[in-house]
Amino acid sequence: MKMKKSQLLCGLAVLVLAALLPLFMQGYGNRLMNTALISAIAVIGLNFVFGYAGLISLAHAAFVGIAAYIVAILTTAHGWSPWLAALLAIAATCLCAYIAGRILLRLKGHYLALATLGLNVSFTIVASNWLDVTGGTNGISGIPSLSLAGVPLDDERSFYWFALAVLTLLAGLAARVRHSHAGRALMAVRDDELATAMTGLPVTRIKVAAFTLGAAYAAVAGCLFAFHIRFVSPEDFNFSHSIIYLAMLIVGGEGSIVGAVLGAVGVTLLPELLRGVGNAYMLVFGVLVLVILVVLPRGLISLAQPATYRGLRRRQGTGAATAVHGGRSS
């Protein structure tokens, strides 16, 4: 109880600090943080697929794009309310993910990764060539902004607070799923699919549920992306963005909601922090990711776990003892 209470107080403190952050930042900083919050929602969704169920999906950006394009088309070409368009976009994205999951999730390992990669590439090709609907490579502009209780969310600061509220709500929902019977079933499939099937659990149905739930979070992120940027194009959702989402989750810590948020924020802000290195950015970025994977194989979230430091001290103690032993032997 004390541990849960301290975690709750810590979470509330972080939430309050995050809510106050826009007051001390200018326009571009707030815009960058909005991008990080939207990415965090998408990465929490990917955590259901990869972190909990152990499924390698490289189609996550496609589900973000499906929702973003549906919102853009309905609000600009058909005059729909942004809220109704967002609801339909989320439902349609979940349906697409369910159908794709029923077809693809019988594959495993690198076969599944390649199949989902093909799905993302196919989406980009369709979005680039269906000129009458998607506008092709020119994209769709003029997407209206959201309004809440008559207050338009058309500036970076107000949109940040709304996105932070959505992220908090969805993170809380993800935590409930994580500790439910459904969450334990997902992790059972990840740990040992054969043993899970032998207990009578429907493995394929569990995988499809994880895929669909992850797509629902991606759809929310896609809707927010469309209302924030107010412009969508195929390049915003190509397969490289799916790889970036996966990198965010691995860097932050797969299987952890807090890790997903840390990874999304860190990888989003890192280009700005490395702006001074110029053309060497990609090299430095790759080295930093490699260092994190080697030193912290469970991601940045392991920095907050006491077991990490106990393990480091144990390895240091073992190394020192080996050096002393070797000195005596010589």
Per-residue model confidence as pLDDT tens digits over 7-54: 677 778 888 888 888 888 888 889 999 999 999 999 999 999 999 999
Give the DSSP per-residue string, 227-270: HHH-EE-GGGGSHHHHHHHHHHHHHH-TT-HHHHHHHHHHHHHH
Assigned domain for 8 exists: no
Assigned domain for 180 exists: yes
SS3 content of the chain, % helix, strand, coil (to 5): 80, 0, 15
CA 151 from chain center: how many Å? 28
Mean pLDDT of 46-68: 96
| Alpha carbons 230 and 107: distance in angstroms, whole number | 37
Range of the structural domain that residue 169 is part of: 17-238
Residues 6+ apart with CB under 8 A from 43: 245, 248, 249, 252, 260, 261, 263, 264
pLDDT at site 309: 46
Assigned domain for 280 exists: no
For residue 21, how many C-alpha atoms fall within 13 Å in the half-sphere facing its CB? Answer: 21
pTM higher than 0.75, yes or no? yes
Please state at what angle helix 60-77 crosses helix 27-46, rounded to 10 degrees.
120
Length in residues, the chain: 330
Give the DSSP per-residue string, 76-109: HHS---HHHHHHHHHHHHHHHHHHHHHHHTT--H
Number of helical (H) and strand (E) elements in the chain, helices listed first: 14, 4
| Alpha carbons 323 and 309: distance in angstroms, whole number | 21
Assigned domain for 315 exists: no
Q: Does pLDDT of 229 surpass 80?
A: yes
Q: Does pLDDT of 4 surpass 50?
A: yes
Assigned domain for 323 exists: no
- Reported as a pLDDT band with limits 50, 70 and 90, residue 274 is confident
Residues 6+ apart with CB under 8 A from 87: none
pLDDT at site 329: 45
Into how many domains does the chain fold?
A: 1
More confident residue, 272 or 265: 265
What are 300-324's pLDDT values in tens digits? 888 876 555 455 456 555 554 454 4
| Alpha carbons 141 and 236: distance in angstroms, whole number | 13
Residue 190 DSSP class = H
Assigned domain for 171 exists: yes
The C-alpha R_g of the chain, in whole angstroms, comes to 22
Beta-bridged to residue 312, according to DSSP, are: none
Least reliable range by pLDDT among 148-152, 188-192, 199-203: 148-152
On whether the CB atoms of residues 308 and 302 are closer than 8 A, the answer is yes
Assigned domain for 308 exists: no
Residues 6+ apart with CB under 8 A from 329: none
Assigned domain for 64 exists: yes
Percent of the chain with pLDDT over 90: 64
